[in-house]
């Protein structure tokens, strides 16, 4: 990998890594009596390890001048492998905490093993580790193909990918040793947040520099979505994480905002992390890989633009629906509810656009599990956005809020939409990137599909049932006008659903393990390589036939 | 009109600016007015501050991720008010950096848990939840009682909070570490200053029942016992406004 | 600037509505502008053409 970097870039990489290792050492020294010191050690190790990697390839011959005539895909390849590793780790921890709610004694009398510390490890590994790496990897791939231009250099994509993974590593290791801001989906402390801003600026600049050099005058709509993802996540991240550190020698900080302002800022962030991280970015993925795999242009390009602006504009208003009936002023709640309901229009426009693209090609969907992953993702996108708008209506929210229904909704989106579109895109892009004719095993793709679908359905139905049961039990009155059920009654009623949920999660995890094995074997297997084919993409038709064995 | 759009699409920078503008309006409209909300929010002149010990307990609550399963926000709904107490007011969390309203009730709401149970109950429950509530799904936190509370340099915490707007005095900051220990050692020399600085209503006692060391258990229980009791504003506003 | 909470709220509420309408109209005009049709169709199709290397 280092051999693809020019000599100047190798030197640049060494400088950056030395600086990083020095920062780690500084944190280690300053935070001796603080968890910050542990993170200093991790940062330093990360830097030193990569210094060895660069040095080991430092004296390799430089890439020839013909490199400019090829796309630069190494970071995308590594990003996909990292995403699969995070997926397996994140799903495993997720299922572990699901079992903790069935068997709460499994904490070994240790601090790190409680639900409260492990839960953010799960959410961060899945959303940022798996989702983020998938977005970075595919965005580099899509960006180059749609602009017909190579990435501007070979160093900055690595900086973004590896720097981002360092952030994820700091995040999850921090929760285990008790470093957290408590803001959901923004738990990492101030120094990790600052580091992410640096990484993100470079990410944005890669996008702008590649776009500036594009040979295709029109910017394809997938890039709009990826750009909205990069830009808005930056805004959200910076505003929500404003905080005053107790000391520069410690991890702890206090949020700049308090009470109701903090709640609104947090859920403005929280909801739009869903919107721009888990929706816009993955829609970008969908708008490229689905037409590509189906070998059909998107049903309506116009509709994709309308939904883009609809989503970009309206999502930002919807966050306050997380705070219905709270101390937030009611007009803000109403505004949030109204926009949440209106959001259904651009959301369904996107889902419908995807499904209409497949209309007339259903035989492909039947035969090709990769395409079926994407179709199922679009269906779950439609379902969960409808559910989201529905749950944002105040009276519905009065029942659903604080219950497992929310958890079910989130997982319908995360497993059904985000993970399925990612797996579908990975199965499409892995053979293209590694110049294989097809995935190692089409049958294993099929196996993964059914495990993933079954897992999602079991999970989501369990949570719908438990959430609605819970919500109803909390508000049931006896004839005498008193509350019928104690809180613990409702908790006892949850037990079978928690068991079912853990089983659903296990199925989903098994699917991901199968997927990871399949991708790894595709990379390992040399037989599929056709050395004479320099073409980046095997003809889609050929790939499809190979994958279905017809 | 058309020329503008044409340029917008041609120039990546135009697209970037358009996205930023379109996306930031919603947040600005909804969040900006909240910063003048103090004009309309309830008055709570009797509101008192978290003592250093309670703050340490709050930080433990955050560190352990208690907010993942317990909310601290009673909504304006009849059943919630009957189950948990008067609905939460904005003013009650005005010094909460960050707020801990939560989003999920795997366990019950804790906004008004303070003084509902005895210290002994809280300690026993934290050490082994299922010994007290057999059906509970809560993790056991027995190790909190074995972990001495870190109070060194606690003034820096109060100082940081003062920067973001909590009115701690210089005296409070200077004696923060001593006050943290004093609140959990009622018979010690440090106890008197706590009541003097934070008010006579401050609960000064052996929260975990062990006089030998001030532990994280002391801090967490001190925090739990103050939840919902920083001000009486909510009780005063009555449950008349319930929807 | 001496703007009270009430004014700020009133402005926020009304401005948001006008902005929403203006944005919708703008986007619809752009999307359905006749001369844009061809470019959109080309954009939708062009990603399907196999390109193994950057355009030089």
Architecture of domain B55-237: Orthogonal Bundle (1.10)
pTM strictly above 0.90: yes
Cβ neighbours for A186, distance < 8 A, ≥ 6 positions apart: A193, A237, A240, A241, A266, A269, A270, A273
Is A463's pLDDT higher than 50? yes
- Predicted pLDDT of residue A403: 96
- Which of chain B's residues have a Cβ under 8 Å away from the Cβ of C33? 2, 5
User: Confidence class of residue B21 from pLDDT cuts 50, 70 and 90?
Assistant: confident
User: Confidence class of residue A540 from pLDDT cuts 50, 70 and 90?
Assistant: very low
Query: Cβ separation of A297 and C55 shorter than 8 Å?
Result: no
B221-229 mean pLDDT? 95
Closest residue to A71, CB basis, from C43, C53, C56: C53
Q: Which of A306, A343, A541 to mutate to test the interface with C (most CBs of C within 10 A)?
A: A306
Interface pTM, i.e. ipTM: 0.93
> In Å, how far are A66, A388, A520, A539, C31 from A549, measured between CA atoms?
36, 40, 20, 15, 41
CB pairs under 8 A between A and C: 83
Q: Picking from A144-158, A256-270, A347-361, B32-46, which range would have the lowest pLDDT averaged per residue?
A: B32-46
- Predicted pLDDT of residue A298: 95
- Which of chain A's residues have a Cβ under 8 Å away from the Cβ of C33? none
- Predicted pLDDT of residue C54: 85
- Which of chain C's residues have a Cβ under 8 Å away from the Cβ of B37? 5
**Does A546 lie at the interface with B, CB-CB under 8 angstroms?**
no
List C residues 1-56 in contact with A (Cβ-Cβ < 8 A): 9, 13, 16, 20, 23, 27-28, 30-32, 39-48, 50-56
Neighbours of B, requiring at least 3 CB pairs below 8 Å, are A, C
User: Confidence class of residue C52 from pLDDT cuts 50, 70 and 90?
Assistant: confident
**Does A254 lie at the interface with B, CB-CB under 8 angstroms?**
yes
Q: How far is A398 from chain B (nearest CA, A)?
A: 8
Query: Cβ separation of C47 and A145 shorter than 8 Å?
Result: yes
User: Confidence class of residue A546 from pLDDT cuts 50, 70 and 90?
Assistant: very low
- Predicted pLDDT of residue B130: 96
Q: How far is A141 from chain B (nearest CA, A)?
A: 18
Q: Which residues of B touch C (CB under 8 A)?
A: 1-2, 5, 22, 25-26, 29-30, 32-33, 36-37, 39-40
Closest residue to B32, CB basis, from C12, C26, C29: C12
Query: Cβ separation of C15 and B39 shorter than 8 Å?
Result: no
- Which of chain B's residues have a Cβ under 8 Å away from the Cβ of A109? 140, 142-143
Q: How far is A157 from chain B (nearest CA, A)?
A: 19
A240-267 mean pLDDT? 93
Cα–Cα distance, C35 to C42 (Å, whole number): 12
Query: Cβ separation of C12 and B30 shorter than 8 Å?
Result: yes
Q: Which residues of A touch C (CB under 8 A)?
A: 68-71, 144-146, 148-150, 215-216, 218, 220-221, 288, 291-292, 295-298, 301-302, 305-306, 309-310, 313, 317, 329, 331, 335, 534-537, 539-540
Q: Picking from A10-14, B84-88, C18-22, which range would have the lowest pLDDT averaged per residue?
A: C18-22
Closest residue to C29, CB basis, from B1, B25, B37: B1
Whether the link from the prior residue into B98 is cis, omega within 30° of 0, is yes
Most distant CA pair in chain B: distance in Å?
A: 80
Q: Tell me the range of A531-535, B24-28, B88-92 where mean pLDDT is highest.
A: B88-92
Is A547's pLDDT higher than 80? no
Cα–Cα distance, A144 to A139 (Å, whole number): 8
Cα–Cα distance, A190 to A209 (Å, whole number): 29
Closest A-chain CA to C34: A302
- Predicted pLDDT of residue A377: 97
Q: Which of A150, A212, A309 to mutate to test the interface with C (most CBs of C within 10 A)?
A: A309
Mean pLDDT of chain B: 88
Neighbours of A, requiring at least 3 CB pairs below 8 Å, are B, C
Taking each helix axis from N to C end, the angle separating A330-342 and A369-391, rounded to the nearest 10 degrees, works out to: 150
Query: Cβ separation of A215 and C43 shorter than 8 Å?
Result: no
Is A270's pLDDT higher than 60? yes
CA dihedral A511, A512, A515, A520 (to 10 degrees): -140
Query: Cβ separation of B93 and A246 shorter than 8 Å?
Result: no
Closest CA to A308 of A368, A380, A239, A223: A223
B45-66 mean pLDDT? 94
Who wins on pLDDT, A501 or B29?
A501
Query: End-to-end CA distance of chain C, in Å?
Result: 55
Structure tokens at A258: 């308090």
- Which of chain B's residues have a Cβ under 8 Å away from the Cβ of A232? 19-20, 23
Closest residue to A258, CB basis, from B9, B95, B109: B95
- Predicted pLDDT of residue C3: 64
Share of chain A above pLDDT 70, in %: 95
User: Confidence class of residue B40 from pLDDT cuts 50, 70 and 90?
Assistant: low
Closest residue to A247, CB basis, from B69, B106, B156: B156
Closest C-chain CA to B34: C5
Phi first, then psi: what are they for A483, rounded to 5°?
A: -65, 130
Closest residue to A306, CB basis, from C31, C42, C52: C31
CA A288 to chain centre: 17
Query: Cβ separation of C23 and A537 shorter than 8 Å?
Result: no
User: Confidence class of residue A217 from pLDDT cuts 50, 70 and 90?
Assistant: confident
The CATH number of the structural domain formed by A64-547 is: 1.20.210.10
Is B31's pLDDT higher than 90? no
A492-513 mean pLDDT? 97
CA dihedral C33, C34, C38, C41 (to 10 degrees): 60
Is A243's pLDDT higher than 70? yes
H or E stretch covering C26: helix C5-32
Give the number of other Cβ atoms within 10 Å of residue A375's Cβ. Answer: 23
Is B240's pLDDT higher than 50? no
> In which residue are the tokens 């996008």 written?
A207
Domain residue spans of chain A = 1-63, 64-547
Q: How far is C5 from chain B (nearest CA, A)?
A: 5
Cα–Cα distance, B179 to A274 (Å, whole number): 43
The shares of helix, strand and coil residues in chain A, as percent rounded to the nearest 5, are: 75, 0, 25
Is B158's pLDDT higher than 70? yes
Residue pLDDT, tens place only, A352-392: 999 999 998 999 999 999 999 999 999 999 999 999 999 99
Is A539's pLDDT higher than 60? no
Q: Picking from A94-103, A467-476, A524-533, B26-35, which range would have the lowest pLDDT averaged per residue?
A: A524-533
Q: Which of C1, C3, C9, C38 to mutate to test the interface with B (most CBs of B within 10 A)?
A: C9
- Predicted pLDDT of residue A530: 53
A17-40 mean pLDDT? 95
Domain residue spans of chain B = 2-40, 55-237
> In Å, how far are A29, A55, A189, A201, A319 from A43, measured between CA atoms?
12, 18, 14, 20, 34
A251-268 mean pLDDT? 93
């Amino acid at each position: 990998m280092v051999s693809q970097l020019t000599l100047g870039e190798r030197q640049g990489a060494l400088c950056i890594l030395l600086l990083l290792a020095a920062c780690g050492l500084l944190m280690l020294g300053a935070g001796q009596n603080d968890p910050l010191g542990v993170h200093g050690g991790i940062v330093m190790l990360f830097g030193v390890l990569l210094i060895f990697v660069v040095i080991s390839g430092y004296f390799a011959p430089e890439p020839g001048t013909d490199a400019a005539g090829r796309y630069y895909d190494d970071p995308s390849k590594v990003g996909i492998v990292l995403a699969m590793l995070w997926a397996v780790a994140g799903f495993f921890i997720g299922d572990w905490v699901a079992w903790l709610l069935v068997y709460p004694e499994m904490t070994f009398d240790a601090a790190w093993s409680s639900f409260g510390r492990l839960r953010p490890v799960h959410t961060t590994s899945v959303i940022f580790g798996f989702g983020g790496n998938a977005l970075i990897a595919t965005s580099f791939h899509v960006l180059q193909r749609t602009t017909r231009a190579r990435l501007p250099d070979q160093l900055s994509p690595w900086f973004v990918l590896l720097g981002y993974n360092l952030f994820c590593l700091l995040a999850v290791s921090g929760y285990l040793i008790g470093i957290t801001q408590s803001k959901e989906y923004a738990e990492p402390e101030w120094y990790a947040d600052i580091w992410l801003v640096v990484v993100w600026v470079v990410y944005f600049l890669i996008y702008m520099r590649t776009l500036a050099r594009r040979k295709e005058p029109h910017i394809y709509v997938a890039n709009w979505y990826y750009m909205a993802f990069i830009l808005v996540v930056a805004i959200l991240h910076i505003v929500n994480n404003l905080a005053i550190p107790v000391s520069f020698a410690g991890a702890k900080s206090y949020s700049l905002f308090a009470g109701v302002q903090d709640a609104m800022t947090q859920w403005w962030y929280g909801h739009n992390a869903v919107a721009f991280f888990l929706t816009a970015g993955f829609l970008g993925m969908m708008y490229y890989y689905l037409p590509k795999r189906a070998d059909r242009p998107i049903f309506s390009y116009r509709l994709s633009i309308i939904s883009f602006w609809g989503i970009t504009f309206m999502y930002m208003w919807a966050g306050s629906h997380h705070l219905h009936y709270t101390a937030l002023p009611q007009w803000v709640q109403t505004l949030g509810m109204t926009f949440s309901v209106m959001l259904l229009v651009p959301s369904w426009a996107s889902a419908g656009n995807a499904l209409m693209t497949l209309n007339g090609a259903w035989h492909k969907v039947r035969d090709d599990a990769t395409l079926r992953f994407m179709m199922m993702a679009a269906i779950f996108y439609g379902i969960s956005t409808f559910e989201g708008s529905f749950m944002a209506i105040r009276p519905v929210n009065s029942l659903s809020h604080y219950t497992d229904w929310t958890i079910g909704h989130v997982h319908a989106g995360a497993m059904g939409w985000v993970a399925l579109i990612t797996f579908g895109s990975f199965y499409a892009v892995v053979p293209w990137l590694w110049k294989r004719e097809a995935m190692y095993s089409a049958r294993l793709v099929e196996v993964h599909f059914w495990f993933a679908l079954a897992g999602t359905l079991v999970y989501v139905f369990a949570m719908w049932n438990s959430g609605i049961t819970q919500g109803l039990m909390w508000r049931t009155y006896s004839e005498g006008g008193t509350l019928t059920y104690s809180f613990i009654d409702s908790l006892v009623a949850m037990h079978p659903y928690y068991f079912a949920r853990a089983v659903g999660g296990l199925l989903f995890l098994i699917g991901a393990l199968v997927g990871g094995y399949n991708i790894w074997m595709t990379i390992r297997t040399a037989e599929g390589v056709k050395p004479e084919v320099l073409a980046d993409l095997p003809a889609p038709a050929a790939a499809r036939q190979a994958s279905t064995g017809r | 009109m058309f020329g503008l759009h044409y340029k917008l699409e041609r120039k990546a920078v135009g697209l970037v600016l358009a996205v930023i503008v379109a996306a930031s309006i919603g947040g600005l409209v909804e969040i900006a007015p909240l910063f003048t909300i103090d004009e309309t929010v309830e008055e709570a002149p009797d509101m008192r501050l978290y003592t250093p010990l309670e703050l340490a307990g709050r930080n433990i609550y955050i560190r352990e991720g208690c907010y993942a399963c317990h909310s601290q926000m009673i909504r304006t709904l009849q059943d919630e008010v009957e189950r948990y107490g008067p609905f939460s007011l904005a003013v009650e969390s005005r010094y909460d950096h960050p707020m801990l309203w939560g989003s999920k009730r795997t366990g019950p709401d804790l906004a008004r848990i303070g003084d509902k149970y005895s210290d002994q109950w809280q300690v026993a429950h934290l050490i082994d939840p299922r010994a007290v509530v057999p059906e509970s799904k809560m993790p056991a936190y027995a190790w909190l009682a074995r972990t001495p509370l870190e109070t060194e340099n606690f003034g820096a915490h109060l100082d940081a909070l003062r920067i973001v707007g909590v009115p701690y005095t210089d005296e409070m900051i200077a004696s923060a570490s001593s006050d943290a220990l004093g609140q959990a050692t009622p018979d010690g020399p440090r106890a008197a200053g706590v009541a003097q600085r934070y008010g006579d209503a401050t609960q000064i006692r052996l929260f975990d029942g062990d006089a030998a060391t001030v532990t994280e258990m002391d801090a967490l229980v001190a925090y739990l016992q103050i939840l919902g009791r920083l001000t009486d504003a909510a009780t005063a506003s009555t449950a008349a406004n319930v929807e | 600037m001496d703007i009270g909470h009430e004014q700020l709220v009133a402005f926020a509420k009304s401005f948001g509505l006008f902005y929403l309408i203006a944005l919708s109209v703008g986007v619809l005009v752009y999307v359905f502008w006749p001369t844009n049709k061809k470019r959109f169709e080309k954009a939708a199709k062009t990603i399907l053409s196999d390109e193994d290397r950057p355009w030089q």
